[in-house]
Chains A and B, each alone.
Chain A
Amino acid sequence: MDERRRVVLRGAGATGALAAALAAGLLKPERVLAATWDENAFRKKDVADALKIIGADDAVASKEVVLDVPEIAENGAVVPVEITSHVPGTTSIAVVIDKNPFPLTSRFDFMEGALPYVKLNVKMGQSSNIRVIAEAGGKHYVAMREVKVTIGGCGG
């Protein structure tokens, strides 16, 4: 799909090279954004660092952000998560699992026409809090639930 552009991005590495590519008109800004993967945020191992880098370290707890998860997961390989933001003007939702080796699991950006809703399956290494952060008008709103990952079966 966008393989050539990805190669350019990967190869560019430093932002300077990317800026140069943009200036040279090789890439349109909007298309660059489409393939961006926020490596810096996804590689953070500490939840506070991950929250900080996505600008959510001062997020306000909000009942407008609805997080539906089972409180007990029989297997950490698949934990279903359903999220709806009722915060007006929500433009993105991020899903963070505090105790995972890399807490930030995903980020969804909603354009014109999309409802701020997503359902997905995440992996959890152990029992942990899951928090979802909705962004609206530059502010962050958060909802959090604890999910217990249990041991099932005979273990044999």
Chain B
Amino acid sequence: MLALRTSAVLAAAALAIAAAPVHAQDEKKEIEKYQKMLAEGSPVELFELEGADLWKKKQGPKNESLEKCDLGMGPGVLKGAYAHLPRYFADTGRVMDLESRLVHCMVTLQGRDYKEATKRVFGNADKPSELEYLAAYVVGKSRGVKIAVSTRNPKAKAAYELGRQLFHYRAGPWDFSCASCHGVAGKRIRMQSLPLLDKPSGARRTYATWPAYRVSNSQMKTFQWRLNDCYRQMRFPEPTFGSDATVALTMFLAVTANGEPYDGPGTKR
């Protein structure tokens, strides 16, 4: 017993030499490596598969699928649709993001009640929400398509301007705005790098990799969730799902990310 333990200890000592310490200058490189390996070994595709089934599933009072849902490029056209969202929709007279448009389709095509369709917009690891699966599926159809969100419509332009103001709006008990954390390049919270989101340099890659599978809670997360949880951590009241304010902020970030090839659904720590 003693002999065995000794040999194990010796082996460990010999190995310690091989285990190189992390140097500060390598930290960034190693974190980037972690993120790359995470993306390569991501289970996010499972959510896309479930979303595809849900897209085709007939449900609601009208017993219809979402296959004829118009996400801005015509009924049922998914290829590249997410890369152009949010956008102004003439049929509702509103600027809508992916999630609010999906709910619109549930209501109009499937005949579902708005309250029922939005009762559970954020799921959990054991039971993801319908919108989380659907978002994974729909955004996957824009992979490789350049983000091109238009502000030509006056309401789209107004949403962009409102989003820009919301981004910088400091309030709450801790005096935070989005810019408190995402307004300077090269900073981090704990070990988490903070993308500068009001400039293309930071916004492009970050925006292009949302929605995403979050390994910290093994969940597929939508962009509405991303904004919701930022505001929670900013100690604000809760943004209402699909509201103009959330769409406006998304609009601001999306336009700032214009030109970046969409690369989601992503995988985040």
Q: Which size class do B's interface residues fall under?
A: 20 to 34
Given contacts A70-B30, A74-B191, contact A58 B7 (CB under 8 A): yes
Compute the total of residue contacts between A and B using a CB distance below 8 Å: 97
Contacts of B11 in A (CB 8 A): 57-59, 61, 142
A150 and B190 within 8 A (CB): yes
Contacting B at CB under 8 A, from A36-84, are 48, 51-52, 57-59, 61, 68, 70-75, 77-78, 80, 82
Given contacts A48-B5, A57-B11, contact A155 B190 (CB under 8 A): yes
* Option from B14, B21, B27, B216 in Cβ contact (under 8 Å) with A146: B21
Contacting A at CB under 8 A, from B1-27, are 4-5, 7-9, 11, 14-15, 18-22, 26-27
- State A155–B4 Cα separation when bound (angstroms): 43
**Told that A71-B20, A71-B22, A72-B30 touch, could you supply 9 new A-B pairs with CB distance under 8 A?**
A59-B11, A70-B30, A72-B27, A74-B191, A75-B269, A152-B191, A152-B269, A154-B233, A156-B233
Enumerate chain A interface residues (CB-CB to B < 8 A).
Answer: 48, 51-52, 57-59, 61, 68, 70-75, 77-78, 80, 82, 119-121, 129, 131, 142-146, 148, 150-156
Enumerate chain B interface residues (CB-CB to A < 8 A).
Answer: 4-5, 7-9, 11, 14-15, 18-22, 26-27, 30-31, 33-35, 37-38, 40-41, 189-192, 215-216, 218, 232-233, 269
